[in-house]
Each structure stands twice: as C-alpha cells, then as structure tokens.
Amino acid sequence: MATTELPLPALPEAHHEEPGGIVDYLTTVDHKKIGILYIFTSFGIFLAGGVLALLVRLELAQPGLQVMGENTYNQVFTMHGTLMIFLFAAQVSTGLGNYLVPLQIGAADVAFPRANAMSYWLYLFGSLIVLSSFFVAGGPAAVAWTAYAPLSTREFFQGTGMDLWIIGLAVVGVAGILGAVNLVTTIFRMRMPGMTMFRTPLFTWGVLVNQLLILFAFPPLTVVFALLFLERNFGAQFFDPTAGGSPILYQHIFWFFGHPEVYIIILPIFGIISEVVPVFSRKPLFGYRAMVFAFFAIAALSFGVWAHHMFATGLVYLPYFSIMSLLIAVPTGIKVFNWIGTMWRGSITLSTAMLMCLGFIVVFLVGGITGIFLASPPIDFAVNDTYYVVAHFHYIMVGGLLYGMFAGFYFWFPKFTGKLLSERLGRWHFITFFLGFNLTFFFQFLVGLDGMPRRIADYQIERWSTANLLSTVGAFLTGVSVLIFIWNFLVSIRRGKPAGDDPWEGNSLEWVTTSPPPHHNFHHLPEVHSERPAFDWRHRDDPAFAVSHTDPERNLDRG
Amino acid sequence: MPRRRAPAARWLAVAVAALLAAGCTPQSVTEEGRAVHNLYNLFLYIAAVVFVVVSGLVIWSVVRYRRRDDELPKQTHGNNRLELLWTLIPTVIVLVLFVFTLQAQDKVLDQSGQADVKVTVTAFQWSWRFTYDGTGAEVVGSPGTIPEMVVPVGQTIRVKLVSADVVHSFYVPQTLFKRQAIPGTENTFDLTFDKVGLYHGQCTQFCGLQHPDMVFRVRVLEQGAYQSWLAAATRRSAGQPGT
C-alpha cells in the first residue's frame, strides 16, 4: 500500500517556525497545545476539588464539628461539587478530544482554530471567576452545586460569591457551546479521504456524541443561570411561588441539563476504553457498529430521564421517568459486553492503561447497577439524598471518570511526549487507587441505606462513625494514589524511556505519526480502508490482512 | 496458573459478600415501607447475579487470554447473535424490574384508605412544625430543640407536607420513604406504623446553614397513650397561642 502525500492546501507550510515557551502557549491556535492547556487547567482544578473533598472527609471522620463550622463546610462541599462537575469532569475530555480528534481523523487541526483558542480562554477565565469567589466578603457559594431555588435566591443566600458562581459558570457554559460547535464541525467536515463515519475511531465517536450533548444541554443550563441571576439581582420572580413563580421549575431546567451532563462526562470515557481494550487485547473492537448505536441510544435516552432526580418531589410522572432511566441500562450493558467480547480469545497485556480499563469496568459496573436501583421510584424514595446516592454517583464520576482518564493518559502520554510513563509506578498508582477508592465509597452505600443524609457537616447517629472513618482513610489513600500519578508524570517527563511512534501497536491514525506529532500532525498518511488504519498499515505486507479496495466489509469476521 | 486464579476468586467472593451485606436495608416500620424493602431485595438479588456474572467474565478473560506469544489472535469483529442476546436479556430484566416497581409504587403511594390521623407538617429553616388537624394540637421545634411527631400505631397517618421558605425533605429512614417540602405546593402521603417506638427523622434536602440540625423524631404510641398525649398537647397549644 502506498502512502498518500496529503494535498498541500490541507497543510500549513512544512517548516513552521514556532516561538516556543509561554508566549507560544498564550498565543497558540494549535489544537494539540490547546488540548494540553485544557488538560493541565482541568487537572489543576481537579487537585483543588480533591483538597476540598479531603476537607469534607476530615470533618466527617468523627461525629461532631472538629475541623470547620457549618458555614465553611457548606462552602467546601458546594465548591467541591462545582469544581469537579462543571470545571473538571466536563472539561478534561474536551482537552483530550482537542488533542486527539484531529489526529484520529487525519486532519491538520480543528475546523475553527481561533474559536478553539477562544473556548479555552473563556473556560479559564470563567473558572477563575468562580474561584475568585473564595476571596470576596461572605466567601463562595454555599448552596450545593445544584443551587436549588429558592435557597439560592437573594432572599435566602446573600453575598457576591453566589453571583460570581453564576457568572463564572455561565461563561464556562458559553465556552462549552463554542467548543462543541468546533469539535462537531471538525468531526463531520475534516475527516481525511477514506475516513468514513463508520471507520472513525470510537474515541472520536465518544467525543462527537459528548459534544452534541453539550450543544443541547448547556443552553438550558445557561438559561437557568440567567433566570437565577435576574432573580437575585433584578427582582425577577421566576422561582417565587408567592408571585406565580415555581421552585420546581428550577429543578426541571437544572436536571434537563444535569442528567445529560452525566453522559457528557462519561461518553468520552467509553470511547477511551473502546480504544485501549482492543489494542491490549490485540483484536478489533467487538461489535463496532453496536457500540456507535449504543452511544446514540444513551444520548437520546439521557434527555428523557431528568426527572428521576426529582422522584421525591411528588410532582413528576413516575412511570415514564422510571422506565426511561431503566432502559439506559440496555445500551450501557451492550458496551460492557462488547468490551468483554473484545477481550474474549484475545491476547491480553496487562499494561497500566489496560489495568485502568479493567478497574473502570468493575467500578462502573457497581455504579451502573446501583443506578438501576435509583431508577425505581420506591427505592429512590428510600435512598434519595442519602449517602447511597453519593456512593452511586462517585462510583460513576470518580471510579468511572478517573479510571478512564488514567487509562487514556497512560495510553496517550507516549504520543503527547515521546516518552513512556513508568509501568512500575503505574501499577502502584492502580492498586492504591483501587483500594482507596473502594474504601472511600463502598461504605457510603451502607450508611446511605441506614439513612445518613448527604450534605451534613455533622451526624448525631453514633453507628455511622465507623463507616465514615473508613471512608476518610480511603479518601486519603486515594489522595496518595494521585500523588503517585503526579510523581510518575514528573519522573517520566524528564527521564522516561523513549516511546517511539507506536509503542502499543495502536489502531488509529495518531499512531502512524511521530511522538509528539509535528505542528501540522502528519508528514504522511496511509490510506484508510477500515476502522484500524494503523493496524492495516503495520500489516500491509501480510497477505492475511490484504486490503481489498472495493469491499469495505472485507475481512470482517462476524462469527 | 492456579496461583494467579486463587486471589482473583477470593477477591470476587469478598466483593460478592460485601455487595450482599450492602443489602441490609433497615427493616421498615411502616406497611408502605415493607413494599419498598421487598422491592429493594428483589433488585439486590438480580444485581448480585449480574455483578458476579459480568465481573466473573472480565476476570476469566484476563486470566485465560493473557498474551503468551506474538501470534495475533483471530480477528473477530462481532457476532450478531451474541450481540442480540445481550441486548435482549437486559431489556427483559429491566422490564421485569419495571413491573415490580409499578406494583410497589402503588402500595407506597396509595391514599385511597380512610385517614385516621391528619398531620400537617411544615418544614422551615431549620426545624419542623407538626399540626394535628381538627384538634389544635401543635408541636414546634427549633435547631436546638428536637420536635417529636407523635402518632398512634396501626393507624393511617395522612401527612400534608408544606414548606415555609425553601425546599426541604421529610425523611424518616425506617419508613424507607421521603418527600420534598416545596414552597407553594402541598404534598400528601400516608404512613402506617406497625411498631411502637421512637424513630429518627431528618431533613435530607440541603436547605442552608443549619441543615444538619434539622432533625426530628417520630414517637409511635399505643392508641390509648396517643389519645392522652393528644389531649395534653391540645391543652398546651391552647395555652400558648401563636407559637
């Protein structure tokens, strides 16, 4: 097979001079650098949110108030949720997507590089506005990350911190919408010749659906924040029942964003797992098309389930939201089974990235199964707003998101830097994280079932203290695992073993270019005949994998 | 490789035991709650089977199909029959769970019976007011003094739940039930306690500074004891108008 020289207009001049250093990163419109800016910024926010989480766990280690007062505690858990959900979880995958999507589809950059830079800077300054609320009189918002009205209105919660919270998140929301327009356009319009939609790597599919969800879910969020801002500052009464407003309206709009948000966070992770598992099983992804359809099924259902967060209001039609929520288990199950199908009769290497995937599947399974319980209104009446829910969504958000992120990071770090992360430290990272994470959150299921409510600085029931203490120990062990990860990063970026262009025998196009890729991404691109162009290129001389140029379904052994 | 398999099996056994231990919902003290308890256990048994099967398959694949040489395994891309199977089985499972959900829900939310006692519960920052309809009896708490909702055993208590300010949530863990108190809205539900006792209750919807202090208790008394309590409470409330 011949390599195809890219048509010249697609590429900037081959010897592009870059200024380098800080100025370069401040002025860059290169998707790879913007991706790295996103990843570093969101990781910094993750560390801040993690410190807040440890403060929460310190306070809850024993009954009574030891470390902080109620007001500080309320600020701490509110900002923990805010930083993690809005400013980290929904953003880190945008960073990875920024870096990887153009590489995976054989493009030189995203569709709108300047808008891409603008998205990032809006995200950064929006985040700084939110963070600045720590330094104003009265401190930051203390009304939980959901900011239910009327609690979040000026009548019940004064202070500039709350307004900065709203403004900052609205700015980040606009950044998200702009970024989504950019990435969706990139995926639809910038794929290289031969890269049909059904040959696009699963991570790119994950990012596509994730960004489409952002496109539909962030505008309602911006709306509800605008309403809240008007209510707080200009006397609007959208949520005031004495003036014909409705507190329940806030919950509806918020969760219409809030539930798709969960999938905004987790779909790119599904994409990462679907990239890493085939590579380390040395088999193609099992049921590629089913995986793509499952993405869309999940995305479509995610807009019909928001009121399962509101079962306990007594004001929503329970059977509809219950069955829709239960049905999400089906496409999600398809994904899990297809990952297992990929590993089945494969040739599995337990690299750190693969270990992280296995960790992901197991903890995500627990998170998913407990989600089924919560989709049933009577069970939800019992455990809603208790630590059971806290445990459930942390199994998705911490177990799922972080395992997936770590898997992706160990997998693509060689591509970003040309160096390998230490596998030995990686294993320690995996083990400490697995133990720490499960210790933290498993016992929260038990206290939750026993009735411990969330968002309380103090608990009067003595028998909850053992579980809480274990949970706190686990949280600090999780903290240690993150330190090991940072240590691994620092050591490897200086003294890591050279990775070469394709250390894992990858499948998608990023593995045929250099590590790190050149400014315009590719010097040469192979022809694309399947969803594994790098695999095809590696086996171009092997008659067993000979490529028929006319039959796109060639070699497709579907059992 | 028995040495590798043994810890995996042990790990799985621990995980399953832990998962089952997680199933200890507190025994319900109301008729309505018993339906929730049974439903929860049904979910738990099915969940345990699913967890064991799926994580077992993961562990088996990793142990059995570890890379041993450089030879590429057979490059299979899928299997329509299998994929159909693992689409249909979960669909059937969730539909079954849905049917049981609907049945339990009807029991929990049923208000067709005659109410024996009607209590209006008002949630406010940061305590509770319990008003006994038609008697003038009233109990009011404050963040420092924990109020008690006193009710007779074996009788249908119809709670009318309202909020005086922000969104709260009325929750007595051992009833396995909660409901939000939303300003501008009246929520009603029935509780039928079948055990005499004193039960912990708490607001579970974050409602501001002293949310953790928004605790109350439910004291379930025999009918006679309840009547004399009610008479005393009515006299007390009449003596302190406006509280």
Residues 6 or more apart from A516 whose CB is under 8 A from it?
Answer: A32, A415, A416, A417, A418
Asked if residues A275 and A404 have their Cβ atoms less than 8 Å apart, the reply is: no
- Cβ of A333 within 8 Å of Cβ of B90? The answer is yes
Mean predicted confidence (pLDDT) in A16-28: 78
β-bridge partners, B162: B122
Q: What is the pTM of this model?
A: 0.93
pLDDT value of position A554: 47
Q: What's residue A541's pLDDT?
A: 86
User: Is B104 part of a structural domain of the chain?
Assistant: yes
What residues have CB less than 8 Å from B9, skipping those under 6 apart? Answer: none
Residue B240 has pLDDT above 90, yes or no: no
Q: How confident is the model at residue A28 (pLDDT cuts 50, 70, 90)?
A: very high
Kindly tell me if the per-residue pLDDT of B7 is higher than 70. Answer: no
Average pLDDT (A116-131) is: 98
Q: Which is it for strands B156-163 and B148-152: parallel, antiparallel or unpaired?
A: unpaired
Using DSSP's 3-state secondary structure scheme, residue A156 falls into: coil
Q: Best interface-test mutation with A: which of B31, B67, B71, B77 has the largest number of A CBs within 10 A?
A: B77
- d(Cα A311, Cα A309) in Å, to the nearest integer? 6
* pLDDT value at residue B10: 64
Question: Residue B163: beta bridge partners?
Answer: B123
Q: Are the Cβ atoms of A247 and B171 closer than 8 angstroms?
A: no
What pLDDT digit, counting tens, does each position of B21-45 carry? 555 677 899 999 999 999 999 999 9
B194 within a domain of the structure (yes/no): yes
Per-residue confidence at A8, pLDDT binned at 50, 70, 90?
Answer: very low
CA distance linking residue A147 with residue A224, whole number of Å: 10
Strand partners, B191: B157
Confidence category of residue A9, pLDDT binned at 50, 70, 90: very low
How far is Cα B243 from Cα B238, in angstroms, rounded to an integer? 10
> Is there a contact between B200 and B29 (Cβ–Cβ < 8 Å)?
no
Helix (H, G, I), strand (E, B) or coil at A74: helix
Per DSSP, the three-state class of A348 is strand
Asked if the model's pLDDT at residue B12 lies above 70, the reply is no
Half-sphere exposure of A511 (CA within 13 A, CB side): 21
Same domain, yes or no: B122 and B235: yes
Confidence of residue B243 (pLDDT cuts 50, 70, 90): very low
* B chain contacts of residue A144, beta-carbon cutoff 8 Å: 206
3-state class percentages of chain A: helix first, strand second, coil last, to nearest 5: 70, 0, 30
pLDDT of residue A542: 84
Q: What are the CA-CA distances from residue A494 to residues A265, A513, B161 (Å)?
A: 31, 22, 62
In a domain, B212, yes or no: yes
What pLDDT digit, counting tens, does each position of B105-130 carry?
Answer: 999 999 998 999 999 999 999 999 99
Does B101 share its domain with B138? no
Would you state the pLDDT for residue B74? 93
DSSP character at residue A441: H
Q: What is the pLDDT of residue A494?
A: 95
Instruction: Give yes or no for residue B17 having a pLDDT over 80.
Output: no
Q: Which residues pair with B120 in a beta bridge?
A: B131, B160
The answer on B150 and B44 residing in a single domain is no
Mean pLDDT in residue range A531-556: 72
A346 Cβ neighbours under 8 A, 6+ residues apart: A281, A282, A283, B61, B65, B73
CA angle A287, A289, A294 (to 5 degrees): 95
Q: Phi, psi at residue B71, to the nearest 5°?
A: -70, 135
In Å, what is the CA distance from B28 to each residue of A297, B11, B33, B177?
A: 37, 32, 5, 10
Are the beta carbons of A284 and A278 closer than 8 angstroms?
Answer: yes
Calculate the CA A105 to chain-centre distance: 21
How many residue pairs bridge chain A and chain B with CB atoms within 8 Å of each other?
Answer: 280
Of A149, A125, A300, A274, give the one whose Cα is nearest residue A217: A300
Give DSSP secondary structure letters for chain B: -HHHHHHHHHHHHHHHHHHHHTT-PPPPSBHHHHHHHHHHHHHHHHHHHHHHHHHHHHHHHHHHTB--SSPPPP-B---HHHHHHHHHHHHHHHHHHHHHHHHHHHHHH---SPPSEEEEEEEETTEEEEEETTT--EEE--SSS--EEEEETTSEEEEEEEESSS-EEEEEGGGTEEEEE-TT--EEEEEEB-S-EEEEEEE-S--STTGGG-EEEEEEE-HHHHHHHHHHHHHHHHHSTT-
pLDDT digits (tens, 9 = 90+) for A313-366: 999 999 999 999 999 999 999 999 999 999 999 999 999 999 999 999 999 999
Q: Is residue B16 part of a domain?
A: yes
For range A524-540, the mean pLDDT: 93
**β pairing state of B127-132 and B156-163:** unpaired
Per residue, what are the HEC states of A442-505? Answer: HHHHHHHHCCCECCCCCCCCHHHHHHHHHHHHHHHHHHHHHHHHHHHHHHHHHHCCECCCCCCC
Residue of A nearest to B63 (CA): A348
DSSP summary character for residue A3: E
Rounded to whole angstroms, how far apart are CA atoms B10 and A401? 27
d(C-alpha A47, C-alpha A405), whole Å: 14
pLDDT at residue A21, as a whole number: 82
Where does A3-545 sit in CATH, by number? 1.20.210.10
pLDDT tens figures, A508-526: 999 999 999 999 999 999 9
- Predicted local confidence at residue B238, as pLDDT: 85
| pLDDT confidence bin for B166, thresholds 50/70/90 | very high
Residue A555, pLDDT above cutoff 50: no
> Is the same domain home to B89 and B25?
yes
Residue A22, pLDDT score: 87
* Residue pLDDT, tens place only, B138-149: 999 998 899 999
Examine residue B71 and state whether it is found in any structural domain, yes or no: no
Which residues on A lie below 8 Å from B91 (Cβ)? Answer: 327, 330
- Residue B14's pLDDT band (boundaries 50, 70, 90)? low
Q: Are strands B117-124 and B156-163 parallel, antiparallel or unpaired?
A: parallel
ipTM for the complex?
A: 0.92
d(CA A261, CA A257): 6
Answer yes or no: is pLDDT of A556 > 70. no
pLDDT 10s digits, A197-245: 999 999 999 999 999 999 999 999 999 999 999 999 999 999 999 999 9
Domain count, chain B: 2
pLDDT at position A2: 46
Peptide bond into B126 cis (omega under 30): yes
- φ, ψ at A3 (rounded to 5°): -80, 150
In a domain, B73, yes or no: no
B239 pLDDT band (50/70/90 cuts)? Answer: confident
pLDDT at B23: 56
Q: Mean pLDDT for chain B?
A: 90
* Chain B neighbors of A557, CB-CB under 8 A: 74-77
Mean predicted lDDT score pLDDT of chain A? 93
Neighbour-count burial of A68, counting CB atoms closer than 10 A to its CB (0-12 exposed, 13-18 middle, 19+ buried) = middle
Distance separating alpha carbons of residues A450 and A423, to the nearest angstrom: 41
Q: Contact, B137 vs B237, CB < 8 A?
A: yes
Residue appearing with tokens 């399974």: A365
Q: Are A127 and A41 in contact (CB under 8 A)?
A: yes
CA of B139 vs chain A CAs: smallest distance (Å): 22
A459 → chain B, closest CA residue: B212
Cα separation of B59 and B51, whole Å?
12
- Residue B136 in any domain: the answer is yes
pLDDT at residue A327 in the model: 97
Provide, as residue numbers in chain B, all residues whose Cβ is less than 8 Å from the Cβ of A242.
184
Q: Report the residue from B101, B204, B212 with minimal CB separation from A386.
A: B204
Hey, where are the domains in chain A?
3-545
| H or E, element range at A234 | helix A202-234
Predicted confidence (pLDDT) at residue A10 exceeds the cutoff of 50 = no
Kind and range of the H or E element at A410? helix A403-417
CA torsion sign for A378, A384, A387, A392 is positive
Are the Cβ atoms of A151 and B102 closer than 8 angstroms? no
B187-210: pLDDT as tens digits: 999 999 999 999 999 999 999 999
Residue B74 falls within a domain, yes or no?
A: no
Quick one: average pLDDT of A300-310? 96
Please check the confidence at residue A507 and state whether its pLDDT lies above 50: yes
Given B47, B67, B184, which is nearest A241 (Cβ)?
Answer: B184
In this predicted model, what pLDDT tens digit does every residue of A39-67 receive, in sequence order? 999 999 999 999 999 999 999 999 999 99
Beta-carbon contacts of A270 under 8 Å, excluding residues fewer than 6 positions away, are A202, A206, A295, A335, A404
B229 and B165, same domain (yes or no): yes
Mutate to test the interface with A, among B94, B110, B172, B198 (most CBs of A within 10 A): B94
Q: Is there a single domain that holds both residue B47 and residue B134? A: no
| Same domain for B173 and B133 | yes
Q: Do B40 and A313 touch (CB under 8 A)?
A: no
Residue B92 clears pLDDT 60, i.e. is over it: yes
Range of the domain at B154: 117-239
Q: Which of B43, B58, B71 faces A372 most closely, judged by CB atoms? A: B43
**Gap from B224 CA to chain A (nearest CA, Å):** 30
Residue B195's domain is classified under what CATH number?
2.60.40.420
Q: Helix, strand or coil for residue A263?
A: helix
Q: In this structure, are B126 and B104 located in the same domain?
A: no
Give the residue from chain A lying closest to B66, CA to CA. Answer: A348
Which residue type sits at A100? L
